[in-house]
């Protein structure tokens, strides 16, 4: 039985037929040991977490088929290529198109990059006996790691997709682990077992749901990847304050699939009859750092920014719901619609440079019942949004 409440890690005998570690480790277990060693050497796993990772081979949580995420889609992998991907520091896509057949092949669930998982778990700062809520069970891999660190009776995990939840339950059963697993929308958390000492989201949040904030115990910690229309992803560590607010710093860039209810609708194409082209001295590379993207997301709320390459040239696309847009690359920019989004971005980049181009950990987030806001260096230094008058004056 689990002894996590007494400061020990649960140790279960592997079920019959499993490829458990023996006197002759399997190639998969050798791969898991190598992965754990690599993460430890990078400073991402403590001795306690390394032991847990070595006990939890990743391949036992990866379904077949599985896919590798490429720039233009997902590539099906089988055989040794599949195993090589599993034991690399790469994400493994485990579901396409919400599981619906005949779709365009868009990744909708994955087993996250191991280094990202290790960073999240380190930031979560769990102790044996802590009550932990995980948002997004997916394959059950992270839930298994948590069970072996804090005790299965202290782990609660929710998954919105019933098929994924059933697969995760089977994976966990095969490991002899039985955390509380529910099929429900993670945005609502799991109120009937609250409060929790720790909450971990494995899907990206556009805003931290107040329902989750309310289920965190006083002094508790929430770790979640966040995403905004202006930046691809950044992970934040929030602590519950005495007044019930959550506040903390961003600590690493991370691109996670958004919570289903936080997915964005695509905007329509801009009106090409309004196109205005000109030269620009602002290199799109200067808008690429996550620090700038965090700052810009606060200053230009609602503006979407996407980076990519067009004919091997770094290109930035900006777009707003009023039909305004801008496409910049190779020294020129084309602007569409009523707002000059590129001029606004140029102004924000000048501000960011004047502040010394602060990096990701310089930024933080505070969540209150009245909304959430980004700050720079200290929670009292809230980054204000540009006013409509400021935007119109550019």
From the list 278, 318, 291, the residue with the least C-alpha distance to 302 is 318
Looking only at the bridges linking them, the beta strands covering 313-319 and 371-376 are unpaired
Write out the catalytic residue numbers: 109
């Amino acid at each position: 039985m689990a002894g996590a409440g007494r400061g020990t890690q649960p140790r279960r005998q592997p079920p019959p037929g499993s490829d458990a570690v023996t006197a002759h480790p399997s190639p998969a277990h050798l791969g898991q040991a190598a992965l754990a060693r690599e993460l430890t050497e990078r400073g991402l796993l403590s001795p306690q977490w390394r032991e847990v990772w070595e006990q939890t081979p990743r391949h036992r949580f990866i379904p077949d088929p599985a896919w590798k995420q490429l720039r233009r889609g997902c590539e099906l992998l089988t055989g040794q290529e599949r195993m090589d991907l599993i034991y690399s520091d790469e994400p493994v896509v485990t579901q396409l198109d919400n599981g619906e057949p005949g779709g365009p092949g868009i990744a909708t669930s994955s087993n996250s990059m191991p280094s990202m998982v290790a960073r999240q778990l380190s930031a979560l700062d769990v102790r044996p006996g802590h009550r932990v809520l995980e948002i997004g069970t997916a394959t059950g891999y992270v839930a298994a790691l948590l069970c072996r660190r804090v005790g299965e009776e202290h782990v609660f995990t929710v998954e919105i997709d019933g098929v994924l939840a059933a697969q995760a339950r089977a994976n966990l059963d095969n490991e002899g682990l039985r955390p509380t697993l529910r099929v429900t929308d993670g945005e609502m958390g799991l109120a009937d077992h609250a409060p929790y000492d720790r909450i971990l989201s494995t899907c990206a949040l556009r805003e931290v749901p107040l329902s989750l904030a309310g289920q965190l115990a006083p002094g508790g910690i929430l770790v979640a990847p966040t995403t905004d229309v202006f930046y691809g992803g950044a992970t934040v560590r929030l602590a519950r304050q005495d007044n019930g607010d959550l506040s903390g710093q961003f600590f690493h860039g991370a691109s996670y699939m958004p919570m289903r209810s936080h997915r964005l609708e695509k905007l329509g194409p801009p009106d090409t009859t309004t196109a205005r082209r000109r030269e620009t001295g602002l290199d799109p590379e200067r808008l690429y750092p996550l620090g700038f993207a965090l700052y810009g997301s606060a200053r230009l709320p609602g503006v979407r920014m996407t980076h990519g390459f067009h004919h091997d040239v770094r290109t930035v696309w900006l777009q707003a719901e009023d039909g305004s847009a801008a496409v910049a690359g190779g020294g020129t920019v084309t602007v569409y619609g009523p707002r000059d989004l590129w001029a606004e971005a140029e102004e924000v980049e000048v501000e960011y440079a004047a502040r010394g181009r602060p990096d990701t950990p310089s930024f933080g987030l505070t969540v209150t019942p009245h909304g959430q806001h980004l700050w720079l260096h200290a929670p009292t230094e809230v980054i204000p949004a540009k006013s409509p008058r400021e935007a119109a004056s550019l």
